[in-house]
Each structure stands twice: as structure tokens, then as C-alpha cells.
Structure 1
Amino acid sequence: MYRKSTRHRAFDPDPAAPETVCEMPGCTARAGYRAPRSRDSLNDYVWFCLDHVRDYNARWDYYKGMSPGQIEAHIRADTAWQRPSWKLGTRAQQSFSEEDVLDPLDLLSRRAKARAADHAATPKPPPPLRQPLSTLGLDWPVSLDDLKSRYKSLARQHHPDTNGGDKAAEERFKAVNIAYAVIRAHLRETTAEFATAKAG
């Protein structure tokens, strides 16, 4: 059985067209096609027959009567969807707050709690080790094997013999040696205390 298509075809008259004749003077054909009345009234339409709406659209010039500067400004505004824009960094002072965001599933606060829990779970280095760890570029906690590996790498890099006796390299080499000694002593002391506590 053949079913008639109810799909609207490209050149069919507008179903919402008023029961009126074409607005082109002298034309008595039914008006089934709309066109904007002017640039300032894009939602206010004039109604034409198919032939006259084609002629109207062919002669339509949106920018008619505008100067080149006005046309340029209009095109620039269109590229930002008629919304204001600012130079990069000029609105950085406006701080963002998660409280300003609609969050019915409480996702943001859950994420914040998870970040806080992760931060609290990360052990902080003892105060005497903060500078030595920074000198060696290590995070806490650190194993003795990682410490030795990092030390060997930095010692080769800053050794005075590989830097032609450079004084700055010599000072860095000394700082690396001191940092390594401090951290190694702490790790060995901690390991000894743990072994004693376990044996007891």
C-alpha cells in the first residue's frame, strides 16, 4: 500500500502563512512565503508568492545603508554571537566559586572532599628533611634505593671533574652530598627503630 508523505518539501508554501494575497503591488497570487521586513525587524515578515519572494531575496542586502566601519563592527560582534568579549586576562580578577554553580547531584562537594582526603592521606616529610628533599628533587616518602639512585645521578651531573672545576658546580655537589647524608641517616634510623619495635 502506498502512503502519501506528509513531509514538508523545500518549495511548499509555509503552513503558517496567513490567508492573504502577495504583498507585491499588483500581484493577486496567494502569499505563502515570508521574508524579513527589514534588518531591524527580522521577526516581522512580509508575505509573497513564490516568484516575488525569490525576487525579494535576490535583492535583499542586509548591510544596505551601513558604512564600512559599521559593517566591520557588526561582523566582529557576530563572531562572538553578539556577546561582549574581553582581552585575555582582564577578567581574571573575578574569582570562581563552586558555590555559585548549580550542583543538584553534589558532585563538586564530593570532589572537594575527595581532594581533601587525598591531601590528608599524603604523609608530610619531617621538617628537617624538607630542604634536603627539595635539594635532591625527591618527594616524601622515599625509599633508600630511590635516594641512592637520585644521589648517583646528581653526583655525576654536578661533580667538579665533569664541570671543569666550576665553582658553582662544586657548591651544588656539596649541597647534594649534605642532603643525601641527612636523608640517609634519617631512613637508617627509622628502619632501626622499626626493627627494634618489631622484635620487642
Structure 2
Amino acid sequence: MAGAFQYKPKFVDIRVRPPTPGEAAQTDDVYALKPGERACDHPGCRLAGSARAPKSRDMLNEHYWFCQPHAAEYNRNWNFFAGMSEGEIKQRQAQSAQGDRPTWDFKAGRFSREAAAAAQGFGQGKGYRDPFNLFGSGNGGAAGVRTPKPESRRLGKLERNALADLDLDENADAPTIRARYIELVKRTHPDSNGGDRSAEHKLQRVIKAYQQLRKAKMA
């Protein structure tokens, strides 16, 4: 080709400088670690270790550094409970449910402020007011505070009518209900009145009321 037709780009030097011996060695090693990287701890691996794994269950704060493939292999073969008995496994699981932290009894020591208050008669209602008798001290009336009356039990209309038929109030307990039922049956039964059936209607109401209270598990 004549020299007049040869390609001669201007302002561009396309010549390639041959690498120095040090640069050639670095270029040939595709597994070379970058600055700040550490090698994988798996024997013979030249990749960078980017994933950490605990060395054992007794050294959870000490880790191996693996590349991703060897980290996955290590996780597949990891067994936290290896070599432990069934009882040790259950104990470890119970500790894990508590966050692996020790637990203590929820009570004050004998030298605490609460113990000193109890020694001075706190449990007997001395030195404090208990208007609602939360501590069972019977100190509800201290300082003119009235102790609230216990709330009466909630009854339905059928239960209230049944107690009324037995001539009982809403606070009657099971033994009282049974005793009143027996008393009214004897009083209103015709056999107890010489065959007089004038109180038979009352007897039917008493029986029905008692059955209703038994159904409500009050008798």
C-alpha cells in the first residue's frame, strides 16, 4: 500500500506499552484480593471472604470468614445441638425463649426498703391508708374514706323472678336456696295440707323457680 493511503490518526497514540514485571503478575492472578479484603478461611480457597460464620456454639463471638459458596456449605452442615442430650437441648431451648438471660425471683431482698416497711407493720395496715382494702389490712375506713360495698352479682330477669318466687333476695347462696325450696314445698304441697289444693299454684311456681335456678347453676 502506498504511503499516501496509510491510516495515520492525528493526536492519538495507539501504541500499547508492555506491562512491567510486577503489573504482569497482578494481571495474571484473577483471584487477587482487593485492598481491605480478607481471604476465605476454607483451605485452598483463594476467593475473598465476605460472609462470617460462628466457629462453634461455645464461641458465638468468634467467626470464620468464608466466600459465598463455602459459607453456604458451612451453613448446610451446621448443627447447633450436635453432641447434646435431649435434656440439654430442652434446657437450651428454654433459655433461648428467655433471651439467654438469667432470671430472678420477683421479690425484694431482706435488706430492701420494702422489707423494712413490712417489718414496721406495713402488712397490718399501720402507717398507710388502704381505702379499697387491696392489701387485706381492714384499713379501708382510715381518714374518713368509705370502703365501697361489694358489687352484687349480675342476674338475669329469669333468675331474679325465680328468687322472688322463693321469697329470697339476690344475694342468696345455694344452701339457702335449697333450704327455702324444701320449706316451701312442704308448706304448699296438698299432702301437707290435708289434700287442700288451694296452694297448688304456688307449689308449681316454686318448683319452676327452683328448676330455673338449678339451670343457672345457682342451686
Instruction: Tell me if TM exceeds 0.5.
Output: no
* Structure with higher RCO (Cα < 8 A, 6+ apart): 1
The interval holding the TM-score normalised by the smaller chain is: 0.3 to 0.5
State the structure with more CA Rg: 2
Report the TM-score, using the length of structure 1 for normalisation: 0.39
Report the TM-score, using the length of structure 2 for normalisation: 0.36
Report the structure, 1 or 2, having the larger helix content. Answer: 1
